[in-house]
Amino acid sequence: MSIGARFPKSDGVAKADGSGIYADDIALPRMLHAKILRSPHAHARIRGIDLGAAEALPGVVATLVGAELPLKYGVIPWTQDETALAVEKVRHVGDAVACIAAIDERTADEALRLVKVDYEVLPAVLTPEDALEHPEIKVNERAKVGNVTKHVHLQFGEVDEAVAGATAVVRETYRYAGSTHVPIEPHCAVARIDADGNLTVWSSTQIPHYVHRELSRVLGLSQSKVRVIQPLLGGAFGGKSDPFALEFCVAKLAMKTGRPVKILYTREEVFYAHRGRHPMKMDVTLALDADGRIAAVDNKILIDGGAYASFGLVTAYYAGQLLTGPYRFGTYRFDSYRMYTNKPPCGPKRGHGSVQPRFAFEVALDEAAEKLGLDPVEARRRNFIGEFVETVNGQKITSNGFLKCLELVEKASGWKERHGKLGPGRGLGVAGSMYISGTAYPVYPNEMPQSGVLVKLDRSGRVAIYSGASDIGQGVNTLLCQIAAEELHCDPYDVTVVSADTDLTPVDLGAYSSRVTYMVGIAAREACQKLAEKLRAAGGATFTEACQRAEAAEGAPLAATGGYRTEKLGGDYRGGTIGASPAYSFTAHVAEVSVDEETGIWNVERIWAAHDCGKALNPTLVEGQIEGSVYMGAAEAQMEEMVYDEKGLLFGPSLLDYRIPTSLDTPDLDSYIVESNDPGGPYGAKEAGEGPLHPAIPAIANGIHDACGIRIRELPFYPQRVLKLLRERDARREERAAS
C-alpha cells in the first residue's frame, strides 16, 4: 500500500544536494538583469520621470515606466487595482515606479540612482481608523466609498436578544499585528520571447495559472502565446499567490529588447511586495447560556489592507465566515471593513483571513467559560457542533474529528491533573479551530474543472503524470507518485511528475486555501483508476508487461485524464459561497507556557497539536505540516510584526530586524494525526497545511492566563505588554486588599 506510507519527498534529494533548479538558477544566453526603482514616499503624485541619465549609462539596454503597462491587474476580477509600475501616483513606500534592464545587476542598480522622479507628496493614511475618518484622502481610486476595499455585514438569528438573555457575556477588543511570510527564496522571474513571438516566463509563483491569465491580459497577448513555468519553489505560505510587478516587467522588457530578462528581488523588496497577514482590530461579544453553550457571537472587525486589494475581498468574508466551527453558535453576526491604507498591500498568509478572528474568539470563549466556572476543555466539548451538520451560516460540515483531537491533547498534556495547578508562572492553555479544504468556487467564475491531471503510461513501465498543481514544499508531487502507485500497482520511483507548466500540463488553480490534497488528489485518482481498468483487462505478469499488453489492445498510447469538478455549496445569500468548502479540517492545541513575573519574559515550553486531516496520505508530510503551522503561529505570538513610522516607512525590512524564532526559540512540538475518513476526500483525506496554525496563538494566550492570571488581547505578546498587564493585575490586587 502506497497511501498511508511514509514515502520520502520526490524532490527531496534535488533540493538537498543543490541540483534542483530554482528561478534564480536560470541563466539564458544574452540575458539582461533588471531592477525596479521604488518610491520613498507613502503617498505621492508622480509629476515626471527623467530617465535620460540612466539610459545614457553604458550597459543599460532598456527602461520601462508605468505608462507602458497601464492596464490594471489582480487575481480577483472584481478588484483589479494594481499596475506593474505606478501610473500617476505611488501608494506606499516601496511602490514600484520604473524599471531598468542592463547587462548585469550592478549596472542596473547604478542606473536606478540616476533616475530623477518629480514627486508631489500627498497626505497619507497609515491606519484603518485614519482611513475611515479621512475619506477625502483617497488611497486607491478603486474604492467606491472612501477607502473601503470591502464591507461585509451578515447576521444569522437575533443576536442582541440572545446576548441580553445570556448568563455569561464577554465584550472585549482584540488586536492582531500584521506579519509577513519570510520564505527562504525571494521572488524571482525570468522571461524570454522567441522568434515567433511566444513569451515564456519562469516565476517563483504558487499560482502559475493566474499569472498566465494576467500576463496575457495586461500585455495584450493571446493566452496561447504565453507560457508560465514554476520551477522549484523555496517557500511561499501565501506570499506568492498574487501576480507581481516583476513578472510583468521581465515580460515587457523581453518583448522590447528581444533578449531574456531576469529580476530577483532583494529581501527588502520582498517586504515591500508583502501580501502578509492583515492587521485586525476585533470588537468581540461572546455570550454563553447557563449550560455553557454559545448563545451568541458578535464580531466587529476593522482590517488594515494596505494600498492594493490583493485577496482583500475574500479576507473581509473569511474573517467572519470561517469562524462558525468546530462549535455550534446559537446566533451570529459579523461586520467587517477591509480598508485601503498607504502601506504595502496585505494578502493571504497561511490560514488566510481566519487566524486573527480565531485568536480573539478562542480567548473570549475562555473568558466566558471562566465566568461560569467552566473548565476550558469542557466548554469546547460542550459546544461541539457534530458531524454531517450545517453551521449557523450555512456551511456543510462532513466528517469531524474535533472531539478526538481535543481528547488527545487533553490526555497528552495531563490537562486534568495539571491545568490551574502548576503554580505561579506556569500554565496550560487550550484552543480549537476549523479550516477549509479548498474553496468551493474558483476565483473567476467558470464551469471548467479546478484541477486537471493527465496520466500517461509508457511501454517501458514508466508512468508520467502531468499536473498543473504547484508544489511549494508541501509535497503535492510526492502525493501524485503515491496515488499512481496505489491505483496502478507500480513502483512509485517509476513515476515522473511534470508540473506547473501552462503549456504542458492541464490547468490547476494553484496552491492556496488548502485545496491541493483534496482537489488534485481526486483528479489524479480518477485518471489513474481509468488506466488501472485497462491494465487489469490486459493482464500481465509484471507492470511493464501489463502496460505493453494494454497498449497493444488499445492500439494507441495509454493515457487518461481526471478532474475535480466544483460542487455547489454555501449559504443562499450574498457572499454565502465564500468560505464554503467540500470538507473542513479540525484542530485542537494545548500549550504549556512559563512566565517570569519580574520581567514579563515568557516561553512556550511545549505545544501538543492534534489535527483531523481525514486520512493521512503520507503521515510524514502531514506531521511536517502540523509542526510547521504550529511554529508559524507561535512565531506570530512571540515576535513577528510589521512596524511603520509616522511617514509609512517600514522599520527594518531585513531578516536582521524582522525577527522570527530560531531553533533556540522554538518550543517542543508533539503532533497527533486524527483520521476521520471524510467521505468526499481522496481516500478520505482533507487539508493539513493551514488549519493547524490557528489554535497555537490563542492556546498560548490562554496558557499565559493560567500561568499568571492576565488576559493578553494584543499580538505580539511582547514581554513589555505582559509586564504592563502584570503590574495592572498587582495594582488591582492591592486595591482589593486595601478595601
How many residues belong to the chain?
A: 739
Last residue of a domain, one of 221, 251, 273: 273
725 and 592 share a domain? yes
pLDDT of residue 236: 96
For residue 697, the 8-state DSSP code is: H
250 and 292 share a domain? no
Could you give the C-alpha distances from 143 to 178, 188, 315, 575, 644, in angstroms and in order? 22, 30, 16, 19, 23
Q: How far apart are CA 377 and CA 296, in angstroms?
A: 19
Question: Which residues are CB-neighbours of 393 under 8 A, at least 6 positions away?
Answer: 154, 156, 320, 321, 324, 332, 571, 576, 579
- Judged against a pLDDT cut of 90, whether residue 440 lies above it is answered with no
3-state secondary structure of 143: coil
pLDDT of residue 66: 98
- 214 falls within a domain: yes
- 167 falls within a domain: no
Mean predicted confidence (pLDDT) in 647-660: 95
Chain mean pLDDT for the chain: 97
Last residue of a domain, one of 514, 531, 564: 564
Percent of the chain at pLDDT exceeding 90: 98
Q: Which amino acid is at 672?
A: Y
Mean predicted confidence (pLDDT) in 130-137: 97
Could you report the per-residue pLDDT of 340-394, keeping only the tens digit for each? 999 999 999 999 999 999 999 999 999 999 999 999 999 999 999 999 999 999 9
- 492 falls within a domain: yes
pLDDT of residue 611: 98
Could you report the per-residue pLDDT of 316-345, keeping only the tens digit for each? 999 999 999 999 999 999 999 999 999 999
For residue 598, the 8-state DSSP code is: T
584 and 609 share a domain? yes
Q: Domain containing 323 — which CATH number?
A: 3.30.365.10
- Per DSSP, what are the bridge partners of residue 66? none
307 and 418 share a domain? yes
- 148 falls within a domain: no
- Judged against a pLDDT cut of 90, whether residue 607 lies above it is answered with yes
pLDDT of residue 687: 97
406 and 376 share a domain? yes
Last residue of a domain, one of 510, 542, 564: 564
697 within 8 A of 637, measured Cβ to Cβ: yes
558 and 489 share a domain? yes
Q: Provide the CA 385 distance to its chain's centre, in angstroms.
A: 26
Could you report the per-residue pLDDT of 420-437, keeping only the tens digit for each? 999 999 999 999 999 999
Q: Which three cell numbers stand for residue 610?
A: 492534534
Select from 280, 287, 269, 325 the least CA-distant residue to 306.
280
pLDDT of residue 358: 98
If one counts every other C-beta atom within 10 angstroms of the C-beta of residue 577, the result is 19
**Phi-psi group of 555: left, alpha or beta (phi > 0 → left; psi -120 to 50 → alpha; rest → beta):** left
3-state secondary structure of 579: coil
24 within 8 A of 257, measured Cβ to Cβ: no
- 129 falls within a domain: no
DSSP symbols for 132-178: HH-TTS-S-TT-SSTTEEEEEEEEES-HHHHHHT-SEEEEEEEEE--
Residue 232 pLDDT level (bands cut at 50, 70, 90): very high
- 135 falls within a domain: no
Class of residue 123 by CB neighbours under 10 A (exposed 0-12, middle 13-18, buried 19+): exposed
Angle between helices 355-372 and 696-708 (to 10 degrees): 30
Q: Is the peptide bond before 506 cis (omega within 30 degrees of 0)?
A: no
Q: Which amino acid is at 676?
A: S
Q: Domain containing 207 — which CATH number?
A: 3.90.1170.50
482 and 539 share a domain? yes
672 and 593 share a domain? yes
267 and 224 share a domain? yes
216 and 351 share a domain? no
Could you report the per-residue pLDDT of 486-543, keeping only the tens digit for each? 999 999 999 999 999 999 999 999 999 999 999 999 999 999 999 999 999 999 999 9
- Judged against a pLDDT cut of 90, whether residue 445 lies above it is answered with no
287 within 8 A of 123, measured Cβ to Cβ: no
3-state secondary structure of 615: coil
Residue 443 pLDDT level (bands cut at 50, 70, 90): confident
Q: Which three cell numbers stand for residue 144?
A: 467606491
Residue 566 pLDDT level (bands cut at 50, 70, 90): confident
Q: Which three cell numbers stand for residue 283?
A: 470588537
Domain that residue 106 falls in = 23-122+184-235+240-273
pLDDT of residue 509: 94
pLDDT of residue 441: 81
Element (H, E) at 45: strand 44-50
Could you report the per-residue pLDDT of 181-213, keeping only the tens digit for each? 999 999 999 999 999 999 999 999 999 999 999
Q: How far apart are CA 13 and CA 20, in angstroms?
A: 8
Residue 739 pLDDT level (bands cut at 50, 70, 90): confident
Q: Which three cell numbers stand for residue 212?
A: 498566465
469 and 502 share a domain? yes
Select from 432, 423, 583, 612 the least CA-distant residue to 519.
583
DSSP symbols for 284-348: EEEEE-TTS-EEEEEEEEEEE--SS-TTHHHHHHHHHHTTS-SB--SEEEEEEEEE--SSPPP--
For residue 146, the 8-state DSSP code is: T
- 352 falls within a domain: yes
Mean predicted confidence (pLDDT) in 585-596: 98
Structural domain count, the chain: 3
548 within 8 A of 588, measured Cβ to Cβ: no
Q: Is the peptide bond before 77 cis (omega within 30 degrees of 0)?
A: no
Question: Which residues are CB-neighbours of 315 under 8 A, at least 6 positions away?
Answer: 150, 278, 303, 305, 338, 346, 347, 348, 352, 353
For residue 113, the 8-state DSSP code is: T
Q: How far apart are CA 363 and CA 359, in angstroms?
A: 6
529 within 8 A of 517, measured Cβ to Cβ: no
Q: How far apart are CA 341 and CA 320, in angstroms?
A: 21
pLDDT of residue 704: 98
72 and 207 share a domain? yes
Percent of the chain at pLDDT exceeding 70: 100
